A and B are shown apart, each in its own frame.
Chain A
């Protein structure tokens, strides 16, 4: 059995989520990686060095430059025969493309797997992570998206796979890329960060959010996250949202400041190793999942905490 991992990359380098997906694929058999992009030799070289990867397919063409779902799905389909499993990271990109591939192959897709039980059986969370389903796919080809926090990343070096070039598909022509606004940040990426400092509605304003949480995040070398309430109120950008509909994270330490802990937020962070909750409401549901709870006003204790760190 051979599994094909569809790499997520920015053409020059691989994104971290690809490594976790390779780790999941390695539990299924031989691992090949598809790098579909434009001028993506750099990403293909990086993929060839991942431990456990035996072959890299490089499809390089202008049609793949913007990673449009229609073209990437067609590219995956063009190389899919012969693979028992097709794996995508469960990122915005993977979720966009994988179901399109599955439908074209007339197979069901298993979303967001957190564990490989056997070649056809997987665990996945449902109902915002309030239940874990063990599911068995009866299809010949298994199309999977992999929850990256469910698998430790494969080593980025130590492999020596061959890179084989495949023909890039033609542009489907129905969809066009217009532009992107990607937030620049010096901080660690939210989904890969070891420590996350996260704020909720209690911060009160965008200025307070930055003023109170940024120094703490700087001291800890942490990424900043937010609850949906904080994002909806405009205190933090959308892509900081942690939860069922935002990012799923599992850092070593998650510091929730002024977050009540709605089901939808817990879905995104309750697999964190250590959770610290700072909230002045003693009834806040966040306290039921926190390892260390501090019942206090965050405007007093967060600066105090920042001051006490080395």
Chain B
């Protein structure tokens, strides 16, 4: 069975982003970029399924500018067998990415598509579900445990209040939650090997997908600042402040 793993290049999770002063967006020039943390978990899960003999080939996919190649190389260093870059300079929204992935699912016929549950830049949490809808596949989102057997995936999902287990017929779309696994570190020999793995580049047009944005960003602003707080010396002062000033207890 083939696994398709979409990965996104995003601003590194440790970077504190700044809003551009003209309100057109977030300043991402010269900041560190890396693979979306949830996507690393997705690649790791695919690699573990390959190590168990369930998955035979892992195809990593990234959509965006040419620098996304680096993200694909990282995925290949973790253990993906080959990469596909859908190259475009256009601003891609989840619906467009889902349509691109749908075209690739049609072409590659994977048994499993494993995505991160959300990207930490747009915080959308949509692409996996949209892909499942477009490809008419069942979905198991926010997965914290995956077992594949007998043409089905039994997936434990993180839901509000606890856990839920569903069984989905393959092919299916899974999205990863943080607790699914701990991604491995890439080693230098694997980084070198990853450079030799095949990386194919296609354009959205070649896949017949219109990537035009449906949502216009009118403005990006800083969130309201909290006014500076005070340091209290001891617990008695804290209790007094909470009672008399803030009136919250």
Binding site for B on A (CB under 8 A): 68-70, 73, 91-93, 95-104, 106-112, 121, 125-139, 172, 174-183, 191, 195, 220, 228, 232, 237-239, 244-245, 247, 252-253, 263-264, 270, 273-276, 287, 289-296, 301, 304-305, 308-309
Is B134 part of the binding interface, using a Cβ–Cβ cutoff of 8 Å? yes
Judge whether A130 and B223 touch: CB under 8 Å.
Answer: yes
Judge whether A139 and B214 touch: CB under 8 Å.
Answer: yes
Judge whether B93 and A253 touch: CB under 8 Å.
Answer: no
Binding site for A on B (CB under 8 A): 11, 13-14, 16-17, 19, 26, 93-95, 98, 117-118, 120-134, 137-142, 144, 154, 157-169, 172, 177-179, 213-223, 226, 229-232, 234-236, 238-239, 241-242, 246, 248-249
Judge whether A308 and B235 touch: CB under 8 Å.
Answer: yes
Select which of B123, B144, B154 is within 8 A of A127 by beta carbon. B123
Do most interface residues of chain B lie in helix, strand or loop, or is the interface mixed?
mixed
Which of chain B's residues have a CB closer than 8 A to the CB of A309?
239, 249
User: Roughly how many angstroms separate A134 CA and B215 CA in the complex, as a whole number?
Assistant: 10
Which of chain B's residues have a CB closer than 8 A to the CB of A102?
95, 126, 130, 133
User: Roughly how many angstroms separate A106 CA and B212 CA in the complex, as a whole number?
Assistant: 12
> Nearest-CB distance from B162 to chain A (Å)?
4
Among the interface residues B122, B144, B160, B220, which one has the most CB atoms of the partner chain A within 10 A? B160
Select which of B123, B223, B232 is within 8 A of A292 by beta carbon. B232
> Nearest-CB distance from B154 to chain A (Å)?
6
Select which of B98, B166, B242 is within 8 A of A274 by beta carbon. B242
Select which of A132, A182, A274 is within 8 A of B246 by beta carbon. A274
A110-B215 contact in complex given A69-B141, A274-B246, C-beta closer than 8 Å:
yes
Judge whether B229 and A293 touch: CB under 8 Å.
Answer: yes
Which of chain B's residues have a CB closer than 8 A to the CB of A296?
234
> Nearest-CB distance from B178 to chain A (Å)?
6
Which of chain B's residues have a CB closer than 8 A to the CB of A287?
229, 231
User: Roughly how many angstroms separate A129 CA and B177 CA in the complex, as a whole number?
Assistant: 19
Which of chain B's residues have a CB closer than 8 A to the CB of A95?
125, 129, 141
Closest to A307 in B: B235
> Nearest-CB distance from B49 to chain A (Å)?
19
Which of chain A's residues have a CB closer than 8 A to the CB of B95?
102-103, 106-109
A134-B221 contact in complex given A108-B215, A126-B122, A178-B167, C-beta closer than 8 Å:
yes
Judge whether A92 and B160 touch: CB under 8 Å.
Answer: yes
> Nearest-CB distance from B59 to chain A (Å)?
22
Among the interface residues A131, A132, A139, A273, which one has the most CB atoms of the partner chain B within 10 A? A131
Judge whether A308 and B239 touch: CB under 8 Å.
Answer: yes
Judge whether B226 and A270 touch: CB under 8 Å.
Answer: yes
